[in-house]
Amino acid sequence: MSIIIILSTLSLLIYSINKMTYIIEASNQNKIKNVLNKFTKNIFLSFITGIVVCLITQSSSIITILIISLVSSKTLSIEKGLAIIIGANIGTTLISLIITLDIGSFYFLFILLGVIIFFLKKHFFAEILIYLGLIFLSLDILEKELISLFSSTFLNNLLMKATNPITGILSGTFFSFLIQSSSATIALTQKLYMNNLISASLGTSIMLGANIGTTISGLIFSLNCDTSAKRVSLASLLFNLFGVLLTLPFLYIYKDIINNFKSIYLISTLHIYFNIITGFIGLFFIKPLCNISCFLIKEK
């Protein structure tokens, strides 16, 4: 019964996150396209634009697909498109932090306020509040059910012994790709960590994997596009992959130090630090990454 509740609630969580980001993106679609066309005169400006636009939409997947479309239509160069996607990785960290804050118990207030605003004036903000409330509700139910499920001695010991970062990265990549949301993956990981069901190092490695998994959807989307679109989506995947590989040695070296941290928001905080640090480092490697993707994907 617990498994059915978890799967049902997880479906509600994914649906709510997707609907909320879609509403935000749809209500600002023309503005977003105008901003992307206007503020992409150079690589750094494109990077900043990616951060700002993703702070508005809170979905790096939507931004990635939009960029792939613009690169495919020759509106953007591959380098500028990749810079926007890298910036979007930083912008999307806000939602994963918000949904892990300890305000989930007030989900009914978000839903109630959203319903009231919706009936008074059918504004898109009302729908955002309703879906945000449903996100908090889903996380609240999932937290209780996961604690119940993983409190069994066998599963608890299995999770606590899973200390290999590679295992966590692969798990995070698969789960994030499966549910098409790195934010949901990181939020659930944060909940497991907050309840001492997983170690901090395992949670961190799952978070790193989630960054890779969320780029795979863009790569799949680009398969029906031209060569330029395929190249920018591959460059995005390579950027996240290299960022994780760059961080991996530190996970092995500082595993004990990470496990000794007691902050309940550790996973979300490390997610922000990871994306900011790799984002600014990645700015200097945009051209090489694009060259690698051009080498791997030949012009037809």
**Tens of pLDDT, residues 62-76:** 677 778 777 877 777
* pTM of model > 0.85: no
Burial class (CB in 10 A: 0-12, 13-18, 19+), 216: buried
- With the C-alpha atoms ordered 224, 228, 230, 232, is the resulting torsion angle positive or negative? negative
pLDDT digits (tens, 9 = 90+) for 83-131: 988 888 887 777 666 666 655 566 778 788 888 888 887 666 787 788 8
The domains of the chain are located at: 2-296
User: Cα separation of 186 and 96, whole Å?
Assistant: 7
User: Cα separation of 257 and 259, whole Å?
Assistant: 5
Residue percentage of the chain with pLDDT more than 70: 75
Kindly give, in sequence order, each residue whose CB lies less than 8 Å from that of residue 8, ignoring residues fewer than 6 positions away: none
Does pLDDT of 154 surpass 50? Answer: no
What count of other Cβ atoms lies within 10 Å of the Cβ of residue 129?
A: 22
Provide the H-helix boundaries in the chain: 2-27, 29-38, 43-57, 60-72, 78-91, 93-98, 107-120, 124-150, 153-161, 165-179, 182-194, 200-221, 227-253, 255-260, 266-282, 286-296
Predicted pLDDT at 159 = 56
The three-state secondary structure class of 185 is helix
Q: Six-digit token pair at 248?
A: 């991996």
Predicted pLDDT at 213 = 83
Contact indicator for 181, 21 with CB cutoff of 8 Å: no
Does pLDDT of 43 surpass 80? Answer: yes
Give whichever of 10-14, 112-116, 146-150, 254-258 has the largest mean pLDDT.
112-116
User: Cα separation of 253 and 193, whole Å?
Assistant: 20
Q: What value does the mean pLDDT of the chain take?
A: 77
Predicted pLDDT at 69 = 73
- With the C-alpha atoms ordered 262, 177, 64, 165, is the resulting torsion angle positive or negative? positive
Does pLDDT of 167 surpass 50? Answer: yes
Give the DSSP per-residue string, 83-136: HHHHHHHHHTHHHHHHTTSTTGGGHHHHHHHHHHHHHHS--HHHHHHHHHHHHH
Contact indicator for 39, 14 with CB cutoff of 8 Å: no
The confidence band for 238, taking pLDDT boundaries of 50, 70 and 90, is very high
Q: How far is CA 206 from the centre of its chain?
A: 12
Burial class (CB in 10 A: 0-12, 13-18, 19+), 272: middle
Q: Six-digit token pair at 283?
A: 């700015």
Predicted pLDDT at 151 = 56
> Of 36-50, 96-110, 161-175, 260-274, where does mean pLDDT reach its minimum?
96-110
Q: How far is CA 24 from the centre of its chain?
A: 16
